[in-house]
Amino acid sequence: MATAAVGSQSGLTGHERLIAVFPFLRHRLNIAVLDDMFPQVLSAFRYEEFRSYLDQTVGLEIYSDGGAFSIVGESRPVSAVIESFLRLHPQNVGRVHPLSPTNFPIADAYYAIFLNNIYKFVNLIEQADRPFAFTLYPGGGFELNEAQSDAKLKRVLGSRCFRYVITTQPITRNYLLSSGLCHENQMRFIQGAVITRSAFAKPQGKLRFGMNKDRLDICFVAARYTTRGEDKGYDLFVDAATRIIRAGLDAHFHVVGPWDETVLNLNDARSRFSFYGFQPTSFFRNFYRRMDLILSPNRPFKLGPGAFDGFPTACCIEAALQEVLVACTDELNLNTQLEDGNEVIIIRPDVDNIVERLLPLLAQPRRMAEIGMRGRVGIARMFARKAQLPPRINVLREVSKEGVAGS
């Protein structure tokens, strides 16, 4: 079974010291987390989720094959990425391992995130004859009404070892129930994701257009999965930027992710764009300090016939926590908590609508700032660690107890 690293009698590990102060953190789960990206830091929400499990549980270990490293441009082998992580977090030595089919861990229970991950390992889990749970985030092999995705779901949810699925968006929960793929008592609904803890630090020295700076700064932050980025709405971002410039505003546009001036023709707007490439979590606090608005005009079903993003995207969440005004789409009506026009601006994936909603706001810097501040409160409430972590750890505890009982 997976076991946690244990300190010597003469010196406690960091986790053991934490437990001595906070006894409620002593959750012995004996569970193996299976993944294809951790501990690569550029998958920030996953990095935070799994680090939190390591911090707050005993008996949990993580096994990664690095199969998704290429998505973020990581060329090192998984063993090297793990070594770098353990140098930064030595308290986790012995708890994060390279994974291959020949060294599959024996554990009381298993956990993974994304459909592709749990599908890849379901045969090996069944050979171990232990229960598993997984989180069905949007993407990662999961699409609505798509044959290959449905086949994977049926295989995973029909496994004799399947116990629980965490759904993170209303449309995902409704899809599984309406299609009869699993029973309601096998599902746990936790909207959203575990957000980087540093993102919750209150912004310091916030710079605001029309108040303590003269230039308007608008950003676009996303990974790129298509040639032109239509799924993320990058084409709409560029068109909207052109229209905003033509309106006479002193605006600059900042793009983070695998984008550059060759993706789309920027024409006369090129001098108003800055490109930053992929960036680690540490980059964003100072970056968002300077931003007035993040524009996220993403479209569902562009990456695939049933592909969609959650609401709001992780990038929008982190920006909102730094009081950046969020303007984003919600074509699938996933929003359940944020008030349009008061805490967030809900746009349609249409450049005319985007400009129509934004231009009046850009002329009211104080109102922009107020919406940004209220947006921080709403997002912090929705994605607070106490809202996201305890229910996830409860699922891990439940499936682990079943595994122990079945030993």
Give alpha helix (H) positions in 275-364: 281-290, 314-320, 351-362
Distance CA 319, CA 285 (A): 9
52 secondary structure, DSSP code: H
Decide: 145 and 129 in contact? Cβ < 8 Å: no
Distance CA 95, CA 39 (A): 12
Residue 319 lies in a domain: yes
Residue 397 lies in a domain: yes
Distance CA 392, CA 168 (A): 11
Residue 32 lies in a domain: yes
Q: Where are the beta strands (DSSP E) in 159-311?
A: 162-167, 187-189, 216-221, 251-256, 273-277, 293-296
Decide: 379 and 320 in contact? Cβ < 8 Å: yes
Residue 2 lies in a domain: no
Please indicate, yes or no, whether residues 291 and 213 belong to a single structural domain of this protein: yes
Distance CA 365, CA 197 (A): 29
Counting the structural domains of the chain, the total is 2
pTM higher than 0.85, yes or no?
A: no
Res 25: pLDDT: 44
Please indicate, yes or no, whether residues 211 and 170 belong to a single structural domain of this protein: no
What element of type H or E holds 32? strand 28-35
Decide: 61 and 32 in contact? Cβ < 8 Å: yes
Residue 6 lies in a domain: no
pLDDT averaged over 10-residue windows placed end to end, the chain, 407 residues: 40 51 54 96 92 92 94 92 96 94 90 97 95 96 95 97 96 94 94 90 93 96 93 97 96 96 94 95 93 97 89 93 97 93 97 97 96 96 93 94 78
Please indicate, yes or no, whether residues 374 and 237 belong to a single structural domain of this protein: yes
Q: Domain limits at 257?
A: 198-382
Q: How far is CA 113 from CA 11, 64, 139, 347, 363, in A?
A: 34, 12, 10, 29, 43
Tokens found for residue 69: 């490293």
Please indicate, yes or no, whether residues 137 and 278 belong to a single structural domain of this protein: no
Residue 279 lies in a domain: yes
324 secondary structure, DSSP code: P
Res 156: pLDDT: 98
Residues 6+ apart with CB under 8 A from 112: 33, 34, 35, 118, 121, 132, 134, 135
Res 403: pLDDT: 79
Res 42: pLDDT: 87
What type of residue sits at position 11? Answer: G
Please indicate, yes or no, whether residues 399 and 350 belong to a single structural domain of this protein: no
Please indicate, yes or no, whether residues 213 and 311 belong to a single structural domain of this protein: yes
Decide: 98 and 65 in contact? Cβ < 8 Å: yes
Res 402: pLDDT: 85
Distance CA 223, CA 4 (A): 34
Please say whether the dihedral angle defined by the alpha carbons of residues 43, 311, 273 and 234, taken in this order, is positive or negative.
positive
Please indicate, yes or no, whether residues 176 and 36 belong to a single structural domain of this protein: yes
Decide: 151 and 187 in contact? Cβ < 8 Å: no
Q: Per residue in 288-326, is it b (16+ CB within 10 Å) or e — as a string?
A: bebbbbbbbbbbbbbbbebbbbbbbbbbbbbbbbbbbbb
